[in-house]
Structures are given as C-alpha cells and as structure tokens.
Amino acid sequence: MRRYALRIVALVYLAALLGAPLTMVFWRAFEHGLGPAWAAVTSDPAKHAFLITIVITLIAVPANTLFGVVTAIAIVRHRFPGKDLVNALVDLPLALSPIVVGLAFLLLYGRGGWLEELPFQVVFALPGMVLATIFVSLPFVVREVVPVLREIGTEQEQAAATLGAGWWPRFRRVTLPAICWAVAYGVVLTTARSLGEFGAVSVVSGRIVGKTETMTLHVEERFQSFDYVGAYAASVVLAVLAIATLVAMSVFKPKEGVIHGDRS
C-alpha cells in the first residue's frame, strides 16, 4: 500500500513538472498542423539560428573535451603549483548564474574593459558567444573523467612505463581507452549544455539577425513577436535534441560505483 502511495506521489510530481511541459511543446508546435510548424522552422532566421548554434557547439565541445581530458589527467596524476586553484576554477561555472557569466565577459571585452582593443570584435559577435558557451559547459568532461582516473589507478600506466613506453603511447593506448566512456558521457553533457545556453549569450549576443541569434534566442524572439507557432516549432527542434541527449546519456552513463557529480 505504502509502495503504491509513494509511486503515485513520485509519478504525479514528475508528470506535472516534466511530462506536461514536454508534451506541451509538441502540442503547441503542431496545433495548426505540420505545415506552419515546418515553414517556421525552415524560415531564414530559424535556419541561421540553427547554424549559429551548431557552429558555437562545434567549437565549444571539442575545445572543452580536449581541455577536459588534459586537465583531468593533470589534476589526478600530477602535482603542480596552483592545482587547487585549477580544481576550484573548474567547478566554478556550475555555481555561477549565466547572467553573471555574460556580464563578466561584457566587462572584460566590452567598452572600458581590459581586453577592449583586440583586432577582432568579441562581444556582440560570435567569438563572445563562443567564449561564454565554453565557460558554462566547461566542467563536464573534467568531472566525468576525474573519478574514473582515480578509480583505475596508475598500475597499468606504470607497467607500460617500465616496459619502455613513452608518455604519448602510454596515454594513447592505456589511459585513453580506459576513460573513453567517461569522455563520451562528458561530451554528451557538454553538448547539451552548449545547445541550451540562453542567459549568458543573452547578455553578449547583440541579437544581430542571422549572425548572433542562437536557437534559444530565436525562441525568445519569436515568442516576443507573437509568432507562437514559430517559437514552439523552434522549441521542438531543441526538445528533440534534448531527447536525443537523454538517450545518449542512458547509453553512456557510468556504471554504479562511480558517483555522478559527487566530489567525495
């Protein structure tokens, strides 16, 4: 009896908070049929927004993946001055409001900032948005790889070293395969975060039609212009990407024993 009560409480809560919104996105997008939704999503502004989002993600994800693997190894396997600071800085993006992130970039690269005079435009242009997106999606690969590195220990790497393998073959053949799944999971998380970024890019975007509007900003803009079908159609694209992310997360999820996100 108690079991059913708990189950109902949990499921009703999840239905109200998750299920209903998700259903709503699809409902409102296709309320007037497939045609208007398709037209909205294939309109020029929507296509450009999609392209901008993809470009930003295609830069942010590889950068953070490379950085993530390198940093995880540095944190776990080596001692160096400033290691604690690195550790703290990696976790910082998770605790910061995206508006604050955008503001920080604005203050650094905008008028009156220390890096104002650069040969190319940073804020209100693509580079600023890329940087902001990199910032907010920074921690994930690191946080996924670190526990795995700790777990597997150094025995295999040491063995390879005694057998005469240099550091690159050691990395390529011993370390990398061991962390492969963790990296994949981290990439999925990083991608999801990059695709969905809104607050930070809101501040640094400049909202230049076709140039600095991401999918998320496009959703907001369409909503503001009373084009609800357009807003929901774009949201459907993002929701489909979200569902794909969930599927990928289930596939790559680390096995039990490696606690996700826990720093114990």
Partner 1 sequence: MTSRAETLPRRARSANPGAAIGQGVATAYLTLIVLLPLAALVWKSTAGGADAFREAVTDPQAVAALKLTIAASVAVALVNAVLGTIVAWVLVRDRFRGQSVVNAVIDLPFALPTIVAGLTLLTLYGPQGPVGIDVAFTRTAIVLALLFVTLPFVIRTVQPVLLELDRELEEAAASLGATTFQIFRRIVFPNLLPAILSGVALAFARAVGEFGAVVLISGNLPYTTEVASVYIFGRIESGAPGAAAAVSVVLLVISFAALLAIGGVRRRVTRHDAVA
Partner 2 sequence: MPGRIVAALLLLCTAVTAGVAGAATRDAKVSLVAYSTPRAAYAKLIPEFQKTSAGKDVSFDQSYGGSGEQARAVLSGLKADVVALSLEPDVTTLVKAGLVAPTWKNEKYGGIVTRSVVVFAVRRGNPKRIKDWADLVKPGVQVVTPNVQTSGGAKWNVMAAYGAQLRKGKSHMQAVSYLRQLYQHVVSQDKSAREALQTFLAGRGDVMLAYENEAIFASQQGQEVPYVIPKATIRIENPIAVLKGSANRAKANAFLRFLRTPAAQRTFAQNGYRPVVASALKGFSFPVRPQLFSMKWLGGWAKVDKRFFDPNSGIVTRIQKETGRS
Q: Taking the CB of residue 115, how many other CB atoms lie within 10 A of it?
A: 11
The answer to whether residue 116 forms part of the interface with partner 2 (CB under 8 A) is yes
Which member of 23, 97, 121, 158 binds partner 2 (CB under 8 A)?
121
Stretch that binds partner 1, among 35-43, 105-113, 179-187, 205-213 (CB under 8 A): 105-113
Stretch that binds partner 1, among 7-15, 34-42, 178-186, 205-213 (CB under 8 A): 7-15
Gap between the Cα atoms of 78 and 213, Å rounded: 41
Which of 178, 190, 195 is CA-nearest to residue 237? 195
Gap between the Cα atoms of 227 and 221, Å rounded: 9
Gap between the Cα atoms of 109 and 218, Å rounded: 24
Which of partner 2, partner 1, none has residue 29 at its interface (CB below 5 to 8 Å by kind)? none
The answer to whether residue 66 forms part of the interface with partner 2 (CB under 8 A) is yes
Which member of 206, 241, 242, 254 binds partner 2 (CB under 8 A)?
206
Smallest distance, partner 1 to C-beta of residue 33, A: 18
Token pair 């001055």: residue:
81
Gap between the Cα atoms of 39 and 46, Å rounded: 10
Which of 226, 239, 233, 193 is CA-nearest to residue 47? 233
* Structure tokens belonging to residue 10: 């949990």
Rounded (10°) angle between helices 228-252 and 20-29: 130
Smallest distance, partner 1 to C-beta of residue 162, A: 9
Contacts of 250 (CB under 8 A, 6+ apart): none
The answer to whether residue 145 forms part of the interface with partner 1 (CB under 8 A) is no
Smallest distance, partner 2 to C-beta of residue 124, A: 4
In the window 18-47, what residues touch partner 1 (CB under 8 A)? 18-22, 24-25, 28
The answer to whether residue 137 forms part of the interface with partner 1 (CB under 8 A) is no
The answer to whether residue 184 forms part of the interface with partner 1 (CB under 8 A) is no
One-letter identity of residue 32: H
The answer to whether residue 118 forms part of the interface with partner 1 (CB under 8 A) is no
Smallest distance, partner 2 to C-beta of residue 29, A: 16
The answer to whether residue 7 forms part of the interface with partner 1 (CB under 8 A) is yes
